[in-house]
Structure 1
Amino acid sequence: MSLPNHFEVVGRDGEARTGLLTAPHGVVRTPAFMPVGTQGAMKGLQWCEIRDAGADIVLGNTYHLMLRPGAERIAELGGLQRFTTWDGPMLTDSGGFQVMSLAQLRKVKEHGVTFRSHIDGTAIELTPERAIEVQRLLGSDIAMQLDECVRLPAEHGDIERAMQLSLRWAERSKRAFEGAPAGHMLFGIIQGGDDPELRRASARALAGIGFHGYAIGGLAVGEPQAVMLAIIEETVPSMPTDRPRYLMGVGTPDDLVGAVARGIDMFDCVMPTRNGRHGMAFTRFGQINLRNARHADDPRPLDEESSWPATRGYSRAYLHHLVRSGETLGAMLLSGINVAYYQSLMQGMRAAIADGTFQQFRERTLEGWSRGDLAAR
């Protein structure tokens, strides 16, 4: 049985689309990029900076938060939004990615997953029912079903087994979600690795179960970008047209533009803050490595036309100095610069889709990245 729909598509340009997703804590404009606050914190940034950068929604992680400080404790403190002071919508990942990334610490069975905590080695069981319980305790606007993600490349048999298990867990997750407060949402997760037929079968089966939205999981886990984009093209036609489509764990600005062109509405990735901590800046001129010695005497800002104060206010020479000196301020500034650029990119795509000029926007953006920042001298 289908669940109520909180998503409205308000504009299309080819396969690209823009819409509004209404959640208990606010409205999310799509295409949307969700900055990742895995443990209830955005590394190097305050929550007000995330909002100022233009983000409508952020992501938290069930696995990490259930370990520390604990879902029950967060619930007693008023839920994840009150706990963190983020007052907008929040999506929580079910912990399924950790089924893959912490492979040496877990065992997968029909009932669920048994983890060894990476913190103290305590044995923890995560079932579809417990994953939903934890997310309801956290109070997130959007919960995700528990799934099993397989790192690529993988044997066909392993991919199909994980896909079928994820479908059975999807049914259990939906039953466990019954009785959730009005307006809160549950997304199903399409699996199937790099096999188009398995992806289509997973998408059709999840649509038959019925969810508020649908995610494509298990990509950007080792396969080339061309494979990822091909799988999106094969999968999207089997996804409901009236529900949000979420590509999990992706990715680079180029990934985002390519996926939006193929009909994706939502994204998340740690890349903006992680790369910022390593001296990398995302700009309309492409990715810039501030560790490079060529920036040492460069008085220019990263982009004098940017609306983000740090992007247009600090010189490349100063940012280079901060990065090479290991100053915390460097990581903070670059993380903010990157989050702001990602949000600017999403806003640009939303406006272009609404205007019917998405292809021109895409070509102009790709040209800027390929020209590079040296051409801006």
Structure 2
Amino acid sequence: MTFDIHYKDTQSNARAGSITTDHGVIETPIFMPVGTQGTVKAVQMPELKSDTKAQIILGNTYHLYLRPGIEILERAGGLHKFNSWDGPILTDSGGFQVFSLSENRKLKEEGAEFRSHIDGSKHLFTPEKVMDIQRAIGADIIMAFDECCPGDAEYGYAKQSLELTERWLDRCFKRFHATEPKYGYNQSLFPIVQGCVYTDLRQRAAEHIARLGADGNAIGGLAVGEPTDKMYEMIEVVNEILPKDKPRYLMGVGTPVNLLEAIERGVDMFDCIMPTRNGRNGQLFTWYGTINIKNKKWEDDFSPIDPDGHSYVDTLYNKAYLHHLIKADELLGLQIASLHNLAFYLELVRQARQHIIEGDYTTWKTTMVRQLSNRL
């Protein structure tokens, strides 16, 4: 995997680049639709590529390991063959999902022991096993196994958690470099900076990771309960240390405004379930602010969903029709809302890239933040 920076904003740390993988080139900054279980919910792969212009999607180690299982994925020839997505794929290591199972998991030096949310069966994720699973899934970019501690964790717990994550990271790197890809193309391992909201811990984590010389680096453990301004502060702290010639991936973030603010601070890659999850619940992101399409005010509004939108659904369907579909729990409503939101997110980062190239990113971002913060 290679990363090239083509343009830098003169007034901020924003940059426009490209990541080259064996499954294609990714133009950055980029948003990655979340395909947790091998599918981006309610969206078919051809629509994902042609309508939202997605360049890379995300899968999840925890969920794919439990179902359909690694044996099935190996027999299929990897996730690309299994789900018919021929572009790059990134897999989250499952650390966040294990963290979410606080009542059904136990952390120890060896790894994380947890019970399946599906059938209650007991499993153990070690750093070595997680590397092997992601090799078998066949993602182009795989993530190190970490503990994601809560955003409100006490300093003592956050420090202990980071120390465990660092020991696990060293084991991940050792296993990764002792094994080979299974399907004839290269894979890259990204370590994850943890440290909660504590500057010294984030600095320590970033320095440790910078020394490893990975193809790219991730920032984890944010948007998990800490204040937004603290999230931005931690991004700035970390990006001062992480190598500037490698892509930086902010995990699990976030709102359109979060993306723009993080791009200004030097982040290149994002993922979040927000566009699809919120869309399925009736929240639409538009160029003039957010819409709750369930509200009665849209019941007889026959204007396009978003006249400035970049998905075919935006002008094909009207707000009243989508209001009806969502209220009636029709599957088509989930599909339309998901396509709209994903297309919006992908167009947002495309426009951010264009304004970095044109040299007016900061001015444009300031206007967009004000505009996107409206509730319509």
For 1:138 and 1:298, the matched residues in 2 are separated by 45
Q: Which moved more, 1:219-228 or 1:362-371?
A: 362-371
**Alignment correspondent of 2:3:** 7
**Alignment correspondent of 2:180:** 180
Structure 1 residue 371: Cα displacement: 5.4
Judge conservation of contact 1:212–1:243 (CA < 8 Å) in 2. yes
Structure 1 residue 319: Cα displacement: 0.9
Structure 1 residue 309: Cα displacement: 1.1
In the alignment, is residue 23 of structure 1 matched against residue 21 of structure 2? Answer: yes
Judge conservation of contact 1:131–1:146 (CA < 8 Å) in 2. yes
Q: Please list, as runs of the form range in 1=range in 2, the aligned pairs for 1:30-69 lying within 5 A after superposition.
A: 30-52=28-50, 53-69=52-68
Structure 1 residue 360: Cα displacement: 2.2
Given the superposition, is the C-alpha separation of residues 371 and 97 from structure 1 closer, same or farther in structure 2, using an over 3 Å criterion? closer
Structure 1 residue 372: Cα displacement: 5.4
For 1:104 and 1:372, the matched residues in 2 are separated by 36
**Alignment correspondent of 1:232:** 235
Structure 1 residue 225: Cα displacement: 1.1
Judge conservation of contact 1:304–1:313 (CA < 8 Å) in 2. no
RMSD: 1.2
Structure 1 residue 352: Cα displacement: 0.7
Q: Please list, as runs of the form range in 1=range in 2, the aligned pairs for 1:88-237 lying within 5 A after superposition.
A: 88-178=87-177, 179-181=179-181, 183-237=186-240
The equivalent position to 1:256 in structure 2, one of 259, 265, 270, is 259
Structure 1 residue 183: Cα displacement: 3.1
Judge conservation of contact 1:96–1:146 (CA < 8 Å) in 2. yes
Letter in 1 for 2:85: W
Deviations 1:87-108, CA, capped at 9 Å, x for gaps: 1000000011022101111111
Structure 1 residue 245: Cα displacement: 0.3
Structure 1 residue 164: Cα displacement: 1.0
Deviations 1:174-229, CA, capped at 9 Å, x for gaps: 11111434631000000000001100110001111231111010000011211111
The count of residues paired between Structure 1 and Structure 2 equals: 369
Structure 2: tracts of 5 or more residues without a match: none
Judge conservation of contact 1:129–1:176 (CA < 8 Å) in 2. yes
For 1:64 and 1:108, the matched residues in 2 are separated by 19
- Secondary structure of residue in 1 paired with 2:161: helix
Structure 1 residue 305: Cα displacement: 2.6
Deviations 1:260-303, CA, capped at 9 Å, x for gaps: 00000001000011001101111101110000100111111122
For 2:330 and 2:338, the matched residues in 1 are separated by 13
Judge conservation of contact 1:74–1:83 (CA < 8 Å) in 2. yes
**Alignment correspondent of 2:74:** 75
**Alignment correspondent of 1:354:** 357
- Secondary structure of residue in 2 paired with 1:119: coil
What's the TM-score, normalizing by structure 1?
Answer: 0.96
**Alignment correspondent of 1:322:** 325
Q: Which moved more, 1:341-350 or 1:307-316?
A: 307-316
- Secondary structure of residue in 1 paired with 2:191: strand
**Alignment correspondent of 1:331:** 334
Structure 1 residue 369: Cα displacement: 2.2
Judge conservation of contact 1:322–1:330 (CA < 8 Å) in 2. yes
Judge conservation of contact 2:257–2:373 (CA < 8 Å) in 1. no
What's the TM-score, normalizing by structure 2?
Answer: 0.96
For 2:72 and 2:358, the matched residues in 1 are separated by 46
For 2:341 and 2:295, the matched residues in 1 are separated by 18
- Secondary structure of residue in 1 paired with 2:73: helix
For 2:275 and 2:72, the matched residues in 1 are separated by 29
Judge conservation of contact 1:171–1:209 (CA < 8 Å) in 2. no
Q: Which moved more, 1:302-311 or 1:176-185?
A: 176-185
For 1:248 and 1:72, the matched residues in 2 are separated by 28
